């Protein structure tokens, strides 16, 4: 299964980068669900306030299925603020609100007839106002406190990718943008996820790095938005890095900061290329550190189809989950 985007000469001139605070907010809300893996955001999630009922948003974010595009439209420019995004959401025509909500609820069995689902199928203008207020509240609760750090990460990714584009054009950019993306014969392919295809035909492409959508590439092809590829930003593995004097920092002094970050970040199996992207490291550097961790019995590599995915062993998990013991051994 794959999604493919076919470029023409006109599309090559209409590729742009953008950042969306609203999309980051929607993705952060999703990470509050028990079924979701927080990955590198586990520490962030543990510090977030609880209690607000976000079910009207989470019900519209099926793990596999359609999330309404109006909830996070691709931003018009690279410097869009949260208020800019929210104004565009609030301006969605009621008929589009109703149609996209119906489409999303249909992807979750029983959702349309649930208590929350029935509310979401009410008057579209009222529902839109409710969803807009919830997104605003979630931004203030979940994302805004850490936004300077998140924004710096996203800006750094855009700068890095722009230099790649300047150095080698789209061939260089797409070859290394994310491990699940492939570029060949003017066609960009996402190797995993739902099947889809779009001849861009001059519409161009928005490229949007994300911090909170850390585990997959999202392709948005529905009208009226410009086609958009949302990809995990480089370096998310160090986004919530703990300062000196914490248990994680103590583990870093024991086995090295980079190895500690890789070990802590292996909350689920990952390939060398994925870890390199997540921690903004060269693949060869990651491979070298994984070899040391493997020899120490902290990680193991397992073949999955044509890939080798690394995971923590029981010993590795014990090291990560019992940081106070290691902290005591450092004498700190």
| pLDDT tens per residue across span 160-215 | 999 988 888 888 899 889 988 999 999 999 987 677 888 999 999 999 999 999 98
| pLDDT higher at 65 or 92 | 92
Q: What are the structure tokens assigned to 57, written together?
A: 């948003």
| pLDDT tens per residue across span 112-152 | 999 999 999 999 999 999 999 999 999 999 999 999 999 99
Percent of the chain with pLDDT strictly greater than 70: 93
**DSSP code per residue over 182-207:** EEETTEEEE-SSS-EEEE-TT--EEE
Segment 104-108 shows an average pLDDT of 93
Peptide bond into 224 cis (omega under 30): yes
| pLDDT tens per residue across span 86-102 | 999 999 999 999 999 99
For the ranges 221-235, 237-251, 310-324, the maximum mean pLDDT occurs at 221-235
pLDDT at 224: 76
| pLDDT higher at 332 or 86 | 86
Q: How many CB atoms lie within 10 A of CB 211?
A: 27
The model carries a pTM of 0.80
- Reference 52, options 122, 136, 146, 112; nearest CA is 136
Cα distances from 126 to residues 66, 84, 117, 138, 226, in angstroms, run 22, 21, 14, 18, 27
- Bridge partners of 198? 5
Name the 3-class secondary structure at 330.
helix
| pLDDT higher at 176 or 60 | 60
Residue range(s) occupied by CATH 1.10.10.10 in the chain: 241-330
pLDDT at 325: 46
Q: Is the pLDDT of residue 332 over 50?
A: no
pLDDT at 331: 44
CATH classification number, 241-330, choose in 1.25.40.10, 1.10.10.10, 1.10.10.60, 3.50.50.60: 1.10.10.10
| pLDDT tens per residue across span 9-31 | 999 889 999 999 999 999 999 99
């Amino acid at each position: 299964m794959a999604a493919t985007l076919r470029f023409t000469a006109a599309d090559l001139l209409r590729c742009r980068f953008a950042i969306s605070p609203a999309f980051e907010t929607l993705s952060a809300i999703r990470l509050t669900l028990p079924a979701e893996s927080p990955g590198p955001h586990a520490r962030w999630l543990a510090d977030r306030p609880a209690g607000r009922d976000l079910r009207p948003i989470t019900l519209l974010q099926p793990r596999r299925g359609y999330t309404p595009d109006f909830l996070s439209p691709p931003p018009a420019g690279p410097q869009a603020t949260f208020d800019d995004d929210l104004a565009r959401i609030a301006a969605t025509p009621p008929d589009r609100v109703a149609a996209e909500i119906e489409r999303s609820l249909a992807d979750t069995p029983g959702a349309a007839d649930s208590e929350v689902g029935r509310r979401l199928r009410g008057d579209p203008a009222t529902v839109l106002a409710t969803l807009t207020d919830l997104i605003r509240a979630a931004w203030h609760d979940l994302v805004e406190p850490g936004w300077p750090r998140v924004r710096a990460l996203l800006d750094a990714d855009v700068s890095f990718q722009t230099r790649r584009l300047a150095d080698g054009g789209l061939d260089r950019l797409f070859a290394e943008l994310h491990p699940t993306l492939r570029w060949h014969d003017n066609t960009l392919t996402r190797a995993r996820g739902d099947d889809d295809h779009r001849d861009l035909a001059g519409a161009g492409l928005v490229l949007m790095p994300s911090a909170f959508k850390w585990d997959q590439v999202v392709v948005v092809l529905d009208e009226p938005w410009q086609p958009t590829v949302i990809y995990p930003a480089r370096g998310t593995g160090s986004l919530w890095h703990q300062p000196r004097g914490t248990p994680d920092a103590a583990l870093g002094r024991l086995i090295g900061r980079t190895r500690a970050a890789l070990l802590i970040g292996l909350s689920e199996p990952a390939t060398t290329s994925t870890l390199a992207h997540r921690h903004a490291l060269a693949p060869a550097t990651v491979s070298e550190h994984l070899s040391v961790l493997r020899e120490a019995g902290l990680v193991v590599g397992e073949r999955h189809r044509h890939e080798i995915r690394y995971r923590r062993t029981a010993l590795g998990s014990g090291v990560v989950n019992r940081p106070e013991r290691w902290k005591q051994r450092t004498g700190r």
